[in-house]
Chains A and B, each alone.
Chain A
Amino acid sequence: MKANDVILQTVTKVVSFIILSFAAYLFFAGHHDPGGGFIGGLVTASALVLLFLAFDIRTISNGIPINYRLLVGIGLAVSTVTAVGRSYDSRFSHTFEYVDFPLFGEIELATSVLFELGVVLTVVGGTLTIILSISEDV
């Protein structure tokens, strides 16, 4: 019997966008409010897991062709490079700068955001690697 998942799939199409935008909000809010790379990555991963639940693995893998094992490596590389790039004066720290943007005004740009971006990629990659390798039929 073919499964009929119209309700779940339709709601997933709407809700995954809410979850992903909330994940982006959590990621950028991390400097001054609760949030940051780790939970931003986990919420992103949960949106993807919801997609995998509502549709099937093959459909989503065709739609989002990402190798999640590679994503872990890219995330670790990004985090390492942001630390190494600052260490030319033998300090392992982050820097920040205030930049004037035409529409948004003065915004604080910090290199810790790049570090957190690496954390996001690592968390998303690690979580989805675990879940997809568990769910595969052996």
Chain B
Amino acid sequence: MNVTTIEVIVSVLVLFGVILALISAFGLIRLPDVYTRSHAATKSATLGVLVTLTGAFMFFGLEEGFFSIRLVLGIVFVFLTAPVAGHLVCRAAYRSGVPLDKRTVQDDLEPILGTQEERQAENKERHRRPHS
């Protein structure tokens, strides 16, 4: 069985991406609160998808001779949007008063946005009168 160099590179890339996605899934299970979970899910899952897409792009470009602009666009798109999605999830969680892990030592946002109880109360108030 003949294995070309490109096939080796592509399979290493895809395998690396899959392992990164698996690690990110373990991070989602194991980490204690929503912020650390978002940290795991955003970073490693994004890199996993990017590496897998790069592998697919190299396979189609070098092995099949088909330059897929859609894969390049997909890589750029995921790279741009996934961190923003993580940022928005974390921000919504903090502003609606989701508790940080008990081992947290410092919370620099607390003096600005209020304590956890204040944020929860404000959130409840906002839900009671949504049209204000």
Contacts and interface: CB of A to CB of B under 8 A. Distances in A.
Interface of A: 7-8, 11, 14-15, 18, 22, 25, 137
A18 B77 contact: yes
Interface residues of B, number: 10
A7 B131 CA distance: 26
**B contact face: mostly helix, strand, loop, or mixed:** helix
A121 B26 CA distance: 44
A46 B87 CA distance: 21
A22 B73 contact: yes
5 contacts: A11-B80, A14-B80, A15-B77, A15-B81, A137-B131
Nearest to B112: A1
B68 to A, nearest CB: 12
Interface in B28-71: 70
B76 interface: yes
Contact of B84 (A8, A18, A22, A25): A8
B80 A15 contact: yes
A22 B73 CA distance: 9
A137 B131 CA distance: 7
Contacts of A137: 131
